[in-house]
Amino acid sequence: MEELLSKLKKDLETKLESAKKEADILNIKSEYVGKKSEISSILASLKDMSIEYKKKYGSLINNTKKEMENMINEKLENLGNDVEITFDDTLDYDIKTGSLHPVTIIAHEITDILKRMGFTVVSGPEMESEYYNFEALNVPKDHPARDMQDTYFLDNGMLLRTQTSDNQIHAMENFGAPLRICAPGRVFRNEDLDANHENTFYQIEGMVIDEGITIENLLYVMQNLLKEVFKKKVKVRLRPGFFPFTEPSYEMDMSCLICGGKGCPTCKNSGWIEMVGSGMVHPNVLKAGGIDPEKYTGFAFGFGLTRLAMMRYKINDIRVLNSGDIRYLKEFNIE
């Protein structure tokens, strides 16, 4: 038996040495450790052997099969490592380092900041139902707030989400309370395109639910988040707003960093850029998420990641970010 097992391992080793493709290795795996392999037949025959034989060879057979499986897995893991890549030194290569998209960088930075504050990053579908995009967020079918957002409806009865707020309901249903989540993602609205509006852009949603949460908790998170993102204190203003899923609702503007607050096409000559929609989570939204509004309160906020990227890198036209022209990325010199 020892000689047979040793021969099987040796034969396997020889076969693996000559295998150069994943398909070849998988064929060898089937042949040597598969259900119809010789080692599997030996293992299956143990049940009919004497107790003495089982004691003498049982462990050896099992260990041999494990060793053979490890040999195959190691070959799969190292596949391609021994391939030598060479370049023709006579050619003039123009090798340039790539860069991340400005919105991607901003999204990573904000989620990292929020994770340090104890937030968990979640995600949700871009093709959404009316229930999660509107109704569960306290926007019934006949609600005038639906006119605030020109929605792309799809032939299958779904829609392209107009906001990342749908993640609020998904998170409450999945995790319950207490809860502290953030959700970056892409959203879609049928907008007229200009320097400050696109039909496809990026947001990040944030929500905290616990006992005793107040508006002061929201302001603390907002102030610290903006300070971390821009590496300096930025001028902001808070004004009343309206969002069906929060009550009371607030909008936070920041001074336009492109023109220094003097006024430009990007900020519509107002000197301010609308940046954050926020407020205390409406009791109806908590109920839709299966959370008791008598016990828990919470706040929610939504950032425009695309606009943050514009402010951070002083990009004066939002359409540049979706242009697909990599020459613009080089202009930002983002590493």
First to last CA, the chain: 61
**Residue after which a domain boundary falls, among 77, 111, 144:** 77
Specify the pLDDT at position 134: 93
> Is residue 34, in this structure, part of any structural domain at all?
yes
> Is residue 93, in this structure, part of any structural domain at all?
no
Q: What is the CATH number of the domain that holds 289?
A: 3.30.930.10
Domain hosting residue 166, numbered range: 102-332
- For residues 69 and 177, membership in a common domain is answered with no
> Is residue 108, in this structure, part of any structural domain at all?
yes
> Is residue 96, in this structure, part of any structural domain at all?
no
Tens-binned pLDDT, residue by residue, of the chain (335 aa): 888 888 888 998 888 888 878 778 888 888 888 878 888 888 888 778 788 877 788 888 888 888 988 888 888 877 765 555 565 666 555 656 667 888 888 899 999 999 999 999 999 999 999 999 999 999 888 776 666 668 888 999 999 999 999 999 999 999 999 999 999 999 998 877 666 667 888 999 999 999 999 988 988 888 788 788 877 777 878 889 888 899 999 988 888 888 888 988 878 889 998 888 999 999 999 999 999 999 999 999 998 888 888 878 888 877 778 777 766 666 655 54
- For residues 181 and 108, membership in a common domain is answered with yes
- For residues 73 and 106, membership in a common domain is answered with no
Q: What is the DSSP letter of 262?
A: S
**CB-based contact 119:207 (threshold 8 Å):** no
- For residues 124 and 61, membership in a common domain is answered with no
What CA–CA distance (Å, rounded) separates 301 from 281?
9
> Is residue 227, in this structure, part of any structural domain at all?
yes
> Is residue 136, in this structure, part of any structural domain at all?
yes
Specify the pLDDT at position 310: 83
DSSP E strands: which ranges in the chain? 120-121, 127-128, 159-160, 179-188, 200-210, 236-241, 246-255, 272-281, 297-304
- For residues 117 and 230, membership in a common domain is answered with yes
Specify the pLDDT at position 328: 67
- For residues 182 and 33, membership in a common domain is answered with no
The domain total for the chain is 2
What CA–CA distance (Å, rounded) separates 259 from 112?
28
- For residues 192 and 295, membership in a common domain is answered with yes
- For residues 278 and 141, membership in a common domain is answered with yes
> Is residue 41, in this structure, part of any structural domain at all?
yes
> Is residue 13, in this structure, part of any structural domain at all?
yes
**CB-based contact 207:177 (threshold 8 Å):** no
Specify the pLDDT at position 43: 82
- For residues 70 and 119, membership in a common domain is answered with no
**Residue after which a domain boundary falls, among 44, 77, 110:** 77
- For residues 44 and 123, membership in a common domain is answered with no
Specify the pLDDT at position 206: 95
- For residues 67 and 210, membership in a common domain is answered with no
- For residues 56 and 132, membership in a common domain is answered with no
**Residue after which a domain boundary falls, among 42, 77, 112:** 77
